[in-house]
Amino acid sequence: MSEEQVSKELEKVFYPNLDKNIVALKVIDNIKIDGNKIKISLNISNESVYQEIENQITDLLTRDFDKIDIQFLSKSKRSFHYGNTAKPNNRAPYAKYVLAVTSGKGGVGKSTISVNLSIALAQLGYKVGLLDADVYGPNTPRMLQVEDEKLRWNDNNKMIPSENYGIKVMSVGLTTPSHDTPLVWRSSVAVSALMQFLEDVAWGELDFLVIDMPPGTGDIQLTMAQELPIAAAIVVTTPQMVSVDDVSRAIMMFKDVGVNIGGLVENMSYFIAPDTHKKYAIFGEGGGKATAKKYNIPLLGEVPLTMNIRQSGDMGTPPVATGSEEEKGYYKTIAYNLLKGIELL
Ligand SMILES: Nc1ncnc2c1ncn2[C@@H]1O[C@H](COP(=O)(O)OP(=O)(O)OP(=O)(O)O)[C@@H](O)[C@H]1O
Ligand SMILES: [Mg+2]
């Protein structure tokens, strides 16, 4: 058996709980054959899957080799810098930094954070594009008050992104005849639509391409990690335990495919009563801090649950642009801490 044949065989080894094999996930670092001995090294940092992957590989190759040596490399220290992720393609060479806003769970505020963080970066003078990767529930056009715009093409047959509050945005929501048209796409179609948004949109030169991810840890997230050098993933959570569990899964998945975690944002951290300005910890306290500590990632900021943030989302008046100084501050802090992390400050 040659190294290529082994690599082909390894496509049968599936990563536990993910619908992807280890070849597709690009976690194979090296395969070395020496007579009837084979040595395989894998870039996987999640120790809880080592045994199962080792068993699968051993079962697969045991007839062909006398000695199978499997090594797991946990790449502990990764630089935030461009190009140091696990050999992804680069479908967005026009962007200096790609940021992915993600979470294991739905409804925790990814889109709200994406929109307000993008605007906060634009307010600092950066050129920012926001790609709404949530093809089944695109919310960003409404949050930016561009939902009634019709898609336009330029002379080079590229889609022209919508613009508001100083940022460019592209979303499936801008391509459908009306903004409540439901999409029934297979995930492969959804993925190709996103590839088109990366390649066929006239983004121009960008400092930051911010990606608002759909909920979960599925095909879209993995494809994005493989097709783009994500400089930093920003993980959004709420203080609740369930949300924190889901978020741990998302963190592990990104770590395993070699994406740097730029930090955690705890959203809906506490409720401020509009009349008394008293703080209430509705979803409990400390979840974000504990998760950040557990995975050794920075806590970029905490955003309270407020009536105005919810209303601003529906009305397309992002708090970082139109809210009180206090509200603007929540998102500016996140932007500031993120920039510090990627050594731009
Ligand atoms: N800090 C907050 N205070 C009040 N409401 C908020 C806050 N953050 C988000 N919301 C509201 O919660 C709802 C869900 O937020 P959002 O759409 O940003 O979440 P999401 O994680 O992107 O959801 P999905 O998983 O469906 O994409 C929205 O109505 C939004 O306005
Ligand atoms: Mg969303």
Q: Distance from the CA of 118 to the center of ligand 1, in angstroms?
A: 16
Atom of ligand 1 nearest to the CA of 305: 3
Is the same domain home to 183 and 57?
no
Check whether residue 117 and residue 13 sit in a common domain. Answer: no
Other beta carbons within 10 angstroms of residue 324's beta carbon come to 10
Q: How many domains in the chain?
A: 2
Substitution candidate for ligand 1 out of 310, 317, 330 with most atoms within 8 A of CB: 310
Asked if the structure places residue 267 within a domain, the reply is yes
Are 236 and 328 found together in one domain?
yes
Cβ–ligand 1 distance for 164 under 6 Å, the answer no
180 and 101 in a single domain? The answer is yes
Judgement on whether residues 128 and 256 belong to the same structural domain of the protein:
yes
Inter-residue contact 6 to 38 (CB < 8 Å): yes
Question: Which residue has a Cα nearest atom 15 of ligand 1?
Answer: 109
86 assigned to some structural domain: no
Do residues 166 and 256 both lie within one domain?
A: yes
Regarding the beta carbon of 109 and ligand 1, being less than 6 Å apart is answered: yes
Ligand 1 atom closest to Cα of residue 307: 4
Q: Could you tell me the CATH number of the domain that includes residue 265?
A: 3.40.50.300
Q: Is 306 in the pocket of ligand 1 (CB under 6 A)?
A: yes
Radius of gyration, alpha carbons of the chain: 21
Q: Whose CA is nearest to atom 18 of ligand 1?
A: 109
Looking at residue 23, which CATH number applies to its domain?
A: 3.30.300.130
For the CA of 134, the closest atom of ligand 1 is 27
Q: Are residues 250 and 117 in the same domain?
A: yes
Residue 79 lies in a domain: no
In this structure, are 67 and 99 located in the same domain?
no
Domain annotation covers residue 255: yes
Domain that holds residue 50: 3-72
Write out pLDDT tens, residues 247-291. Answer: 888 888 787 777 889 999 999 999 988 888 888 988 888 888 888
Structural domain includes residue 90: no
- Do 110 and 9 belong together in one domain? no
CA distance 286 to 159: 43
CA of 107 to the centre of ligand 2 (A): 7
- Pocket test of ligand 1: the residue of 101, 105, 111, 314 to mutate, having most ligand atoms within 8 Å of its CB, is 111
pLDDT digits (tens, 9 = 90+) for 85-126: 456 778 898 999 999 999 878 899 999 999 999 999 999 999
Given a cut of 50, the residues of the chain with pLDDT beneath it are 75-85
Name the domain boundary from 37, 72, 107: 72
For residue 74, the model assigns a pLDDT of: 65
Residues 273 and 331 in one domain: yes
Do 121 and 64 reside in the same domain of the chain? no
pLDDT at residue number 88: 72
Count of CA atoms in the C-beta half-sphere (13 A) of 82: 13
Same domain, 138 and 258: yes
b/e per residue, 12-30, with b = 16+ CB within 10 A? Answer: ebbbeebebebeebbbbee
Residue with CA closest to ligand 1 atom 14: 107
In a domain? residue 84: no
